[in-house]
Chain A
Amino acid sequence: MMRRLAAAALALYPLAFRRRYAEEMKALLEEAPVRALTVLDLLRGALAAHLRPGDGPQGVVGVEDRLRASLSGVLACWIAFAAAGFAFYKTTEDAPFARAASAHLALGASHLVVQALAGAVSLAILAGGLPVALAAMKQARHRRSLRAPIGVALGAVGLVCVLTGALVLLAHTPHGVHPTAPGRAGFAVWGLAVLAAGVAFALAARRALFATSVSRARLLIALATATLASAAMAVIALATTAYAVGLGLDAADLAGTPNGPIGNPSTEATLAAQVAAMAITCALAVVTSHRGWRAVSNTASGSSPATGDSTRA
């Protein structure tokens, strides 16, 4: 059990670090006893390696793979961000919130910005990801290594569609999705299953991306759209913060009431958790986008390997 956790913790290290030291670290873990403290030490080491990339191995990852790492990072951030955004939508969808948004300009405007940019981010992710996804599917005809991750990614999307359809059907039964206990349980199961599907999709997409031959130009276009999406995520997080603050100031009674399909403690607390999740994921997306561009500029200035296509994620 501890050895498996240690192996999972190793997977959390940055790409360059894994390429340089992972085999040695695995050999060390096979020789030495693995305890809970060993796993914690690996987790702390992975965090430190992400926070101080300058201390890590340089020139191990080529620019194409650095771009792949940035793209898959932004995709994972967007999935987590979208989960928080969907929770925000569910928290503020009821009629009293619509009335508050009509009565107070700041609330209405910030909610509109969130909705409009959520659509824009999704389109940007789709525009950048679709050409790469199509290239992966085309190459999967001849390459077996691509079939499994593409199958998992498509399966995750299919699972979300089926479960969402089932939830909609449940919502139209006499019990509805909420506030009855079966309705709440159904929503909770749907939420957990969608989160698991999101994680599976992000991991499978990363594996497929590293196994797909894509031109640098196409990767750069994808990174440009990912950067736009990251910037839009930052604006959405700011607008959500403005909405949460505005709700506390302009509709304090609404902010303090329990809300949502699973009976949240209070709207204010729920919004604070959603803002925190959005801030963390969009900060990670901005950082990973920046690292992609830095790799490109380092290559242009000749301080980094120009190529490094690999099938190892």
Chain B
Amino acid sequence: MLDLWPRAQLACYYYVMRYTSERATDPGLLVLASLAGGAKHGYAITLDVEQMAGIRLGPGTLYGALSRLEAKGLIEALPAQERRRPYRLTGAGSAALADQLQTMERVARDGLARLRAAEATA
């Protein structure tokens, strides 16, 4: 019985970390976060995401995410500049990004606090 509690805590931390890391590497979220800094075209988003999160989005992943976000009305395309088309956040996109980041922040804060508490009692 005594062994179960640390195991349950570990499982809980594992879930928290997996949840935050999966959400943090979601291409849609990364693209929204990149566009929060201003309108960008595909290649600029790729470079920005790489600098921000250390993840290089492939063209299939990037345009899959752009397509989903555009279909949901979270981003919109601006007039094309030659062959490249910049994208920017819509009002709904800004709200969705803020909501997701606040959730992640809450989960990360609570998870870290629990980790510290567990280390202190160990």
B82 neighbours in A (Cβ, 8 Å): 27
Residues of A within 8 A of B63 (CB): 17, 21, 24-25, 45
State how many angstroms separate the Cβ of A48 from the closest Cβ of chain B.
Answer: 6
A51 to B61 CA separation, bound complex (whole angstroms): 14
Whether A45 and B66, one on each chain, are in contact in the complex, defined by CB atoms closer than 8 angstroms, is: no
Q: How far is B85's CA from A29's CA once the two chains are assembled, in angstroms?
A: 14
Bound-complex Cα distance A37 to B57 (A): 11
A44 and B60 alpha carbons, distance in the complex (Å): 7
- Bin chain B's interface residue count: 20 to 34
Residues of B within 8 A of A21 (CB): 63, 66-67
> From A49, which residue of chain B is reached at the shortest CB distance?
B64
Contact of A57 among B58, B70, B83, B85 (CB under 8 A): B70
B114 contacts A by Cβ under 8 Å = no
Q: Summarize A's interface: helix, strand, loop or mixed.
A: helix
Interface residues of B in 51-95 (CB under 8 A from A): 58-64, 66-68, 70-71, 82-85
Q: Which residues of A contact B71 (CB under 8 A)?
A: 54-58
Number of interface residues of A (CB under 8 A): 30
A41 partner, pick from B41, B59, B66, B70, beta carbons under 8 A: B59
Give the complex CA separation of A56 and B65 in angstroms.
Answer: 10
Q: Does B46 contact A (CB under 8 A)?
A: yes
CA distance A57 to B71 in the complex (A): 6
CB-CB under 8 A for A42 and B83, given A17-B67, A28-B46, A57-B67: no
Decide if A42 touches B59 in the complex (CB within 8 Å): yes
A contact residues around B62 at 8 Å (CB): 28
Q: Known contacts being A49-B67, A56-B71, A57-B70, is A42 close to B60, with CB within 8 Å?
A: yes
Q: List 9 A-B contacts (CB under 8 A).
A: A20-B67, A28-B62, A41-B61, A42-B58, A45-B64, A55-B64, A55-B68, A56-B67, A57-B71
